[in-house]
Chain A
Amino acid sequence: DSGVTQTPKHLITATGQRVTLRCSPRSGDLSVYWYQQSLDQGLQFLIQYYNGEERAKGNILERFSAQQFPDLHSELNLSSLELGDSALYFCASSVGVGGGNQPQHFGDGTRLSIL
């Protein structure tokens, strides 16, 4: 058990809809990362928050947004959903601000299916 909790585990919705994915980091971790994993793209970094502030941005679409709350949990909002957004979305956390010298601890993801 990584200590990172993601909800919901599965989400099925239709094109054009909006969904919110939630992540609770491991106790004591201040950084939260969001990743998207699809069969043809591998694990793609979306965005990172550290102690409530955005710290790094990857290839995140403008339709996607995230935030980290004072209690350090994070939410990833996906809007105007398209079929291509179907994927596994992972949240990870680390102790500090991040970097190659820190392990990341992953949740078990939210599987998003767009019909």
Chain B
Amino acid sequence: SQKIEQNSEALNIQEGKTATLTCNYTNYSPAYLQWYRQDPGRGPVFLLLIRENEKEKRKERLKVTFDTTLKQSLFHITASQPADSATYLCALPTSGSARQLTFGSGTQLTVLP
């Protein structure tokens, strides 16, 4: 069955450094992959969508890569700031049902001042 794994539950980095979060998936070949940000007690907020034929996508300080051979997406935040501290979720279309999204368990990022 489809499985999504996000790297270590928590990631701490120093302000100004680049944060790199990993999303690995198995038993599936999605045509799209999405990243969301979730703050405590709030709903997830959509950040970026990348298609299988787009190796890389950027939005301001955010960069997402999508390697369909490795079945992996990397999410980078450059020049990180304490305000970037949140949980980041990757999401893929659910195997067998293109209408649904399956979310990973998330990586909690803390940017230390």
A residues at B contact (CB < 8 Å): 2, 4, 33, 42-43, 45, 48, 55-56, 58, 88, 90, 92, 97-101, 103-109, 111
Q: Report whether over half of chain B's contact residues are helix, strand or loop; otherwise say mixed.
A: strand
Cβ–Cβ < 8 Å partners of A107 in chain B: 43
Interface residues of B (CB under 8 A from A): 30-34, 41-46, 49, 51, 89, 91-94, 97-106
The answer to whether A100 touches B46, judged by C-beta atoms less than 8 angstroms apart, is no
Asked if B100 contacts A106 (CB within 8 A), the reply is no
- Min Cβ gap A46→B in Å is 10
Chain B min CB distance to A12 (Å): 16
Contact A100/B43 with A42-B105, A45-B102, A56-B99 known, Cβ cut-off 8 Å: no
- Contacts between chains A and B (CB distance < 8 A), count: 68
Question: Do residues A99 and B44 form an inter-chain contact, with CB atoms below 8 A?
Answer: no
- Provide the bound-state CA to CA distance between A101 and B34, in Å: 8
Given A100-B32, A100-B92, A90-B101 contact (CB < 8 Å): no
A42 touches B99 (CB 8 A): no
Residue pair B93, A99 in contact (C-beta under 8 Å): yes
Which residue on chain B has the smallest CB distance to residue A42? B105
A43, B97: Cα distance in complex, Å: 17
Q: Which residues of A contact B51 (CB under 8 A)?
A: 101
